[in-house]
Structure 1
Amino acid sequence: MNHYSRLKNALIIFVLLLSMLYALPNIFGSDLAVQVSSVGNTLIVDQDLNKIKNVLKAQQIEFKSVELTNQRILVRFKDNTQQLLAKDVLKQALGRRYVVALNLAPSVPVWLTILGGKAMSLGLDLRGGVYFLLEVDMETVISALMNKVYNELRVLLRKDRLYKSIKQENGSIVIRFKHAELKDKAAQLIKLELGDLVMLDNNSDELSLNIGISESAQRQAKKSALKQNITTLRNRVNELGVTEPIIQQSSERIMVQLPGVQDTARAKEILGTVATLEFRLVDEKNDPQIAIQSGRVPIGSKLYYFKDGSPLLLKDRVITTGENITGAASSIDQENNIPMVNITLDSIGGRAMLNTTKKYLHHRMAVVFIENKVETIIKNGKTIKKHTTTRDIINAATIQSAFSSRFQITGIDSAREARNLALLLRAGSLSAPIEIIEERTIGPSLGADNITKGMTSVLVGFVLVLLFMAIRYRIFGIVANVALTFNLVMIVSVLSLLQATLTLPGIAGIVLTVGMAVDANVLIFERIKEELCVNSKIQKAISNGYDKALLTIADANITTLIAALVLFSFGTGPIKGFAITLSIGIVTSMFTAIIVSRAIINKIYGGKKLEEISI
């Protein structure tokens, strides 16, 4: 009685050792670091690593180490002064093809990293950073959709000269006709070609149609605008070099958390940047180098550059822009096994593309990415806004055949470049303005203070519980304390493995779990005491105490777990952080309070003739 098999004991020890291993990375802390990552299709190679080392040595900036992992270079420093100085120097030396940003890099040993060990991800309130709540202007989305439909209707009905007049009135499109036959013909054509439109009631005029956009089309437009905005925001956040940004959608709002970022103005400028695309034909007849040397660009052409600085002459006429792109996705050509990007245009862009590709077959067409940025600068002691526009060629490929609304861009060097291009194309089709309606900045010192206070609360609560259990239940209480210690280790290891973000409310969940974890042991120990009063056999009393308290413990923990899962499902931000740690703590406490504590009790008292026990 009161004996576990060797296999069961081995499994318990294995789980506890595994938990200790994956909780270990959190004791090593973090290094102050500068992160260097590439922009667009630029690949980081060993030469970049050597260049960074040489630049830092030339400026006599002391650093701990420089490493290249996952296409980013991480330079670690001993103090904040060297870190800030290195950021400015590297930003100037590397140029706009690279993103240089401050970072905190976990100082986990290499051997532990190889085994998959990672430190917990700290939330905004613990690490410090910037929080934005952005609202999407849905009225502009619907207005843009209405303008698009208006233009499509004019083009569709103009072919057969069906309408007398067409104009927008009070959120709908009113089309007037000369006679009823033309009206019926137009109604059938609209229903056939533009299924997203609906006929509205119009009792005032028998020779007119009142056209509106269906609810489903409006919902789809809003949904698409949100997705495009989120894609664009992710691209902008990459400009800041943030390693663990949180971008979440909530109804018509977008929440952006940038841990580690302290420059609110810079973050706002990046998030507020507007970008678009242009498709232009390449000027095949003139040499861009001659245009640069002479300082004269041929009439009808403009000089553009790739991101690597290579020049190219493009025609003045714009075929279509990013506003006409409705979809872009990267894929692999199955026949030739080469990367490509699938593009989808709306009807207006499709017609323009078809006419151009028919006429200019086997000519090259370029995709130009245009970005408008706002930069805050200080001039003569005054803060002013500087607006800058960059125009980069991201692709120039030969037109192999005529196409319209759907086509592929090939000639791309790698699948990575194809994915980046698809993201840029989707980002370029942004048409929904965003407004920052709430912003908060949490300094790193406040974050460190929150960590200190949070850890203090955990330790104080933990020590008080340990003292109470040891005094109240003696040997059994000490066993419960050991199980409680393992419970904390398991919570930390699970948070580290899942890379769940630990927040200040999450620490509150851990503190609550500390108190709840020993509750199961209290029930078991009190049950054992009751059994000892009615049963003189000690081994039987221990066994009954664990077995009979099990259902009560399970009921109490399951109901709490249900409440925690509801909080996680319907809560946001801090509430989710609390629910995550509480849920994990409930599951791990069931394991440690029941199975681990019983395994220890079995080793101390199991299989022995006992006259008394310390409880």
Structure 2
Amino acid sequence: MLQIDLWKRIVIVLTCVVGLWLALPNAFYSPVEQHNDAVKAIEQGGATPELEAQRDLWPGWMPSGLVNLGLDLRGGAHLLAEVRVQDVYKSRMEATWPEVRDALRSLTPVRRQEAPDGELRVRLQDASKMAEAMEILRGLARPVQTLTGAGASDINVSGNDGLITITLSDAEKQATDERTMQQSLEIIRRRIDEVGTREPTIQRQGSDRILIQVPGIGSAAELKAIIGTTAQLTFNPVVSRGTDANANPGIGNSLLPSLDNEGEYYTVETAPVVTGEELVDAQPSFDQNGSPAVSFRFDTTGARKFGKYTAENIGSPFAIVLDDEVISAPVIQSHIPGGSGIITGNFTVEESTNLAVLLRAGALPAGLDFLEERTIGPELGQDSIDAGKVATIVAFVAVLAFMFMSYGLFGIFANIALVINVGLLFGLLSLIGATLTLPGIAGIVLTVGMAVDANVLIFERIREELKTAKGPARAIALGYEKALSAIVDANITTLITAVILFAMGSGPVRGFAITLGFGIITSVFTAIFVTRLLVVIWFERARPKTIEV
């Protein structure tokens, strides 16, 4: 019979109320956005009168989740970067050289030879010790830490006539590439999030490329300034200092320019004592003269190595190197235990703050080549929003008019459910913090068109049942009952398509898939439950002898 239990009515009404309540902040987008930004800023840096005024633009007891606007709606920066994974091979070989030298020291003296990037070549002073040396170096190999590389070693050792060549194995290169990409993605995400931008799109494309889209940022150049720096911090022993930019540093050494003193160059050992990877914290501060600086702290391993080196090299200079430039080269005055220190230089307050952010986020494991960059202005984004609004309104009005003209009072019930459907869709998107793009708006427009499909099936089925001379209550009940299987089948197939688009697509395609998928869920809910509740309530009050659909 045509009836709905009380508890089901309460659940349906509560679901609609909660969904519309969650969607409400989107009707007051600008004040709510300022409120959210102010709350976040107060949590990070404390309250100010301006921030408190912005926070009070929206009541704290009301929901404040928004559907974030994507790059094509809000404007922002777009970058496509290629990661130079070969840089990591070179760094691995540089870091391996001290280990190789120490391992062979007791057997025979060795001298490093010139080699292509990604290779390490050493010559034995006593070539007769070749077999023993090869055995020792193969003992330095470690198993590859991946399932695909199970059973393989991380290095290959070969040699002839006293010359030994060490390279990474193919399995280790594959594992290194994967780690490099994952690390680069995470570090870029941390850098962008920490400087205050919101809802970035950072996705891997292909084997060695990363797509970066950040809504609301000023320009592609500004975005590159945040993420384009490797921020590779190292502490290297100083061999010599001079002014010759073409001096030969020697094998195992590097010639680096001074950041503060133009025309001055340092020859430093390439293998660092400590690296930025062993930093656990970096904060902007001031030195004893009141100049901006950056204080840092190492982890346990870094602190031990740093303390040991300073204890053994009192009176010797060591270089603090950032991205192949010597920031400073102080002389070690005493043993520095604890692993804490300070980086001084000709910094401004802004430069010291940015450097601390980069060091805290971590060093990119490899350099980036920017293959594509563009800036989308907010004017273009506003045009897209306006065009999307017009399309949505036109589709909405056309559907409302069609349903009213086709089904009369029942069409009005379907139109009420359609309005609730759109509200529930925005409530769901706000709840998960989804980002709305122009294809996402297309998904909403499509949802508006598809939302009445289920109602059309139900109402047409009711018409057929009325022709069999059944009473109106029985006809309505059978209409909903017999149309259910067709509704479920049609929407499940579309939902499967949306899931595949989300799983296989990226960027705007995912935005379309999300709005389409959620739109299907809300459409089915409103068609099967909301319109039926409206019809039942009307029927209970009016008790019509006949109905016309």
Q: TM-score range by the shorter chain?
A: 0.7 to 0.9
Q: Distance in 2 between matches of 1:495 and 1:482?
A: 20
Partner of 2:494: 560
Q: Distance in 1 between matches of 2:307 and 2:20?
A: 63
Question: Would the alpha carbon gap of residues 249 and 341 (structure 1) be closer, same or farther in structure 2, given more than 3 Å must change?
Answer: farther
Q: 1:342 aligns with which of 299, 317, 327?
A: 299
Instruction: Give % identity.
Output: 35
1:481 aligns with 2:434: no
Q: Distance in 1 between matches of 2:486 and 2:40?
A: 57
Describe the superposition over 1:4-49 as per-residue Cα deviations: whole angstroms up to 9, x where unpaired: 122211111111111121111111131697989999xx97345xx3
For residue 27 of structure 1, what is the amino acid of its counterpart? A
Question: Would the alpha carbon gap of residues 343 and 126 (structure 1) be closer, same or farther in structure 2, given more than 3 Å must change?
Answer: farther
Q: Is the 8 A contact 1:242 1:261 kept in 2?
A: yes
Question: Would the alpha carbon gap of residues 512 and 428 (structure 1) be closer, same or farther in structure 2, given more than 3 Å must change?
Answer: closer
Structure 1 residue 355: deviation in Å? 3.9
1:437 aligns with 2:375: no
Q: Distance in 2 between matches of 1:498 and 1:162?
A: 63
Question: Would the alpha carbon gap of residues 398 and 238 (structure 1) be closer, same or farther in structure 2, given more than 3 Å must change?
Answer: farther
Q: Is the 8 A contact 1:276 1:323 kept in 2?
A: no
Partner of 1:222: 177
Partner of 2:309: 356
For residue 495 of structure 1, what is the amino acid of its counterpart? L
Q: Is the 8 A contact 1:123 1:501 kept in 2?
A: yes
Partner of 1:67: 51
Taking only aligned residues, the RMSD between alpha carbons, in angstroms, comes to 4.5
Partner of 2:397: 463
Structure 1 residue 323: deviation in Å? 7.3
Task: Give the 5 Å matches for 1:454-533.
Answer: 454-533=388-467
1:247 aligns with 2:202: yes
1:265 aligns with 2:232: no
Partner of 1:188: 135
Query: TM-score, with normalisation over the residues of structure 1?
Result: 0.67
Structure 1 residue 600: deviation in Å? 0.7
Q: Distance in 2 between matches of 1:343 and 1:508?
A: 53
Q: Distance in 2 between matches of 1:33 and 1:542?
A: 49
1:17 aligns with 2:1: no
Structure 1 residue 214: deviation in Å? 2.0
Q: Is the 8 A contact 2:82 2:371 kept in 1?
A: yes
Question: Would the alpha carbon gap of residues 367 and 116 (structure 1) be closer, same or farther in structure 2, given more than 3 Å must change?
Answer: farther
Q: Is the 8 A contact 1:328 1:343 kept in 2?
A: no
Question: Would the alpha carbon gap of residues 479 and 542 (structure 1) be closer, same or farther in structure 2, given more than 3 Å must change?
Answer: same
For residue 245 of structure 1, what is the amino acid of its counterpart? P
Partner of 1:449: 383
Question: Alignment partner of 1:248: what SS?
Answer: strand
Q: Distance in 1 between matches of 2:494 and 2:404?
A: 26
Structure 1 residue 256: deviation in Å? 1.9
Question: Alignment partner of 2:77: what SS?
Answer: strand
Q: Distance in 2 between matches of 1:510 and 1:607?
A: 34
Question: Would the alpha carbon gap of residues 126 and 170 (structure 1) be closer, same or farther in structure 2, given more than 3 Å must change?
Answer: closer
Q: Distance in 1 between matches of 2:45 and 2:319?
A: 24
Q: 1:119 aligns with which of 66, 88, 98?
A: 66
Structure 1 residue 180: deviation in Å? 8.6
Structure 1 residue 500: deviation in Å? 0.4
Structure 1 residue 358: deviation in Å? 5.3
Question: Would the alpha carbon gap of residues 421 and 588 (structure 1) be closer, same or farther in structure 2, given more than 3 Å must change?
Answer: same
Q: How many residues align?
A: 480
Q: Distance in 1 between matches of 2:404 and 2:518?
A: 25
Question: Alignment partner of 1:496: what SS?
Answer: helix
For residue 187 of structure 1, what is the amino acid of its counterpart? M
Structure 1 residue 109: deviation in Å? 4.8
Q: 1:135 aligns with which of 52, 63, 82?
A: 82
Structure 1 residue 271: deviation in Å? 3.2
Question: Would the alpha carbon gap of residues 479 and 37 (structure 1) be closer, same or farther in structure 2, given more than 3 Å must change?
Answer: closer
1:212 aligns with 2:146: no
Q: Report the structure, 1 or 2, having the larger strand content.
A: 1
Q: Is the 8 A contact 1:163 1:182 kept in 2?
A: no
Structure 1 residue 269: deviation in Å? 3.2
Query: TM-score, with normalisation over the residues of structure 2?
Result: 0.74
Question: Alignment partner of 1:489: what SS?
Answer: helix
Q: Distance in 2 between matches of 1:423 and 1:44?
A: 15
Question: Alignment partner of 2:364: what SS?
Answer: coil
Partner of 1:154: 101
1:602 aligns with 2:536: yes
Structure 1 residue 469: deviation in Å? 0.9
Q: Is the 8 A contact 1:278 1:321 kept in 2?
A: yes
Q: Distance in 2 between matches of 1:513 and 1:360?
A: 71
Question: Alignment partner of 1:168: what SS?
Answer: coil
Task: Give the 5 Å matches for 1:354-393.
Answer: 355-356=308-309, 359=312, 370=322
For residue 44 of structure 1, what is the amino acid of its counterpart? G
Describe the superposition over 1:416-448 as per-residue Cα deviations: whole angstroms up to 9, x where unpaired: xxxx99975565543411111111221111111
Structure 1 residue 211: deviation in Å? 3.2
Question: Would the alpha carbon gap of residues 507 and 108 (structure 1) be closer, same or farther in structure 2, given more than 3 Å must change?
Answer: farther
Q: Distance in 2 between matches of 1:179 and 1:525?
A: 94
Q: Distance in 1 between matches of 2:66 and 2:273?
A: 41
Question: Alignment partner of 2:45: what SS?
Answer: coil
Structure 1 residue 207: deviation in Å? 6.5
Q: 1:548 aligns with which of 468, 475, 482?
A: 482
Question: Alignment partner of 2:51: what SS?
Answer: strand
Q: Distance in 2 between matches of 1:341 and 1:37?
A: 32
Question: Alignment partner of 1:19: what SS?
Answer: helix
Structure 1 residue 115: deviation in Å? 3.3
Question: Alignment partner of 2:115: what SS?
Answer: strand
Q: Is the 8 A contact 1:479 1:597 kept in 2?
A: yes
For residue 252 of structure 1, what is the amino acid of its counterpart? D
Q: Is the 8 A contact 1:126 1:447 kept in 2?
A: yes
Structure 1 residue 563: deviation in Å? 1.0
